[in-house]
């Protein structure tokens, strides 16, 4: 059991590293946020359906579960739209930094969601994360819209994590991902249809964009989403969200490599990143110590 848990922690960090690359892809793809997410989810749900058919997993779920899956699909669709829109109107640095507040939102929501008492250090770590963000970036007023969109995306990410924390107890990760992505595609399709967005220009995608979108849909979405849901059998939603705080660290290093000096980090970035990293380590130590005390 301990080995399985350790392996899932390693897998979680790999997933977060992959997610860190999504911001770079979002910047490289020339499409606007809405069509970008629509293509991403459409391709991803098709790949997941092929995987489910190959494995012959049953797709039948209880009605109450289906409702939660649909809500989860709408939440993840809006999370991605606000995430990529934030990148488009600001930059990768601001967006990923603000996304780290997801742990703080989860710390506030998880006790109500699971009906447990609030743990003092979860709130403390959430505050430390925010302080780390303030140290990492001096966000200018020109980035206000990007900051608001990124914070909205972080909140939706926290809600999505809590929804999947319950769904994984009874459903397969691939089935959860299929219904959530399928619901998200349907939701976005209806919105685009009623707003007259399905124009000829909507389907004009360059060759480079197709390559980047496929990587985004396959590796960063289909694989990463299934794997992230799977690790939640061993790791709590709060710990998942706190580990996701490393996404800015991974993402900004990758952004500097692929996007150049426009994403260059100064010394304060490393101070803030270290503060965030310390919360991840401290959370794991405290949670493990608590479980050892219960066991003894």
**Token duo for residue 182:** 């399928």
Residues 184-236: tens digit of each pLDDT: 999 999 999 999 999 999 999 999 999 999 999 999 988 887 887 778 777 77
Of the candidates 150, 175, 171, 14, which has an alpha carbon nearest to the alpha carbon of residue 92? Answer: 150
Instruction: Tell me how crowded residue 134 is: count the other CB atoms within 10 A of its CB.
Output: 14
DSSP 218: I
Instruction: Tell me how crowded residue 286 is: count the other CB atoms within 10 A of its CB.
Output: 14
Residues 117-165: tens digit of each pLDDT: 777 787 788 788 778 877 776 655 567 888 889 989 999 998 998 898 8
Enter the pTM of the model.
0.83
* Beta-carbon contacts of residue 125 (< 8 Å; ≥ 6 apart): 103, 107, 242, 279, 282, 283
Name the pLDDT band for 282 (thresholds 50, 70, 90). confident
Summarize the confidence of residues 45-62 as an average pLDDT.
Answer: 93
Residues 92-124: tens digit of each pLDDT: 877 887 887 777 787 778 788 877 777 778 778
**Token duo for residue 286:** 């405290």
Name the pLDDT band for 290 (thresholds 50, 70, 90). low
pLDDT for res 284: 63
Name the pLDDT band for 291 (thresholds 50, 70, 90). low
């Amino acid at each position: 059991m301990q080995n399985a848990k350790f392996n899932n922690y390693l897998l979680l960090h790999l997933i977060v590293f992959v997610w860190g690359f999504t911001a770079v892809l979002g910047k490289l793809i020339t499409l606007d946020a809405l069509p970008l997410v629509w293509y991403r989810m459409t391709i991803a749900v098709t790949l997941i359906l092929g995987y489910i058919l190959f494995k012959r997993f049953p797709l039948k779920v209880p009605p109450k579960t289906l409702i939660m899956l649909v809500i989860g699909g709408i939440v993840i669709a809006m999370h991605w739209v606000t995430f990529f829109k934030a990148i488009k109107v600001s930059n990768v640095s601001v967006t990923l930094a603000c996304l780290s507040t997801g742990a703080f939102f989860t710390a506030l929501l998880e006790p109500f969601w699971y009906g447990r008492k609030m743990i003092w250090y979860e709130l403390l770590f959430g505050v430390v994360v925010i302080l780390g963000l303030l140290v990492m970036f001096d966000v200018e007023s020109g980035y206000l819209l990007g900051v608001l969109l990124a914070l909205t995306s972080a909140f939706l990410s926290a809600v999505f994590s809590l929804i999947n924390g319950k769904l994984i107890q009874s459903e397969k990760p691939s089935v959860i991902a299929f219904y959530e992505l399928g619901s998200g595609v349907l939701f976005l399709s209806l919105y685009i249809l009623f707003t007259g967005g399905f124009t000829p220009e909507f389907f004009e995608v360059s060759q480079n964009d197709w390559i980047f979108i496929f990587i985004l849909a396959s590796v960063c979405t289909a694989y990463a989403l299934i794997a992230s849901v799977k690790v939640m059998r061993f790791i709590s939603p709060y710990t998942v969200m706190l580990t996701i705080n490393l996404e800015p660290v991974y993402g900004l290093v990758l952004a500097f490599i692929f996007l150049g000096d426009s994403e260059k980090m100064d010394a304060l970035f490393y101070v803030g990143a270290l503060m965030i990293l310390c919360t991840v380590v401290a959370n794991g130590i405290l949670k493990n110590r608590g479980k050892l005390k219960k066991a003894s």
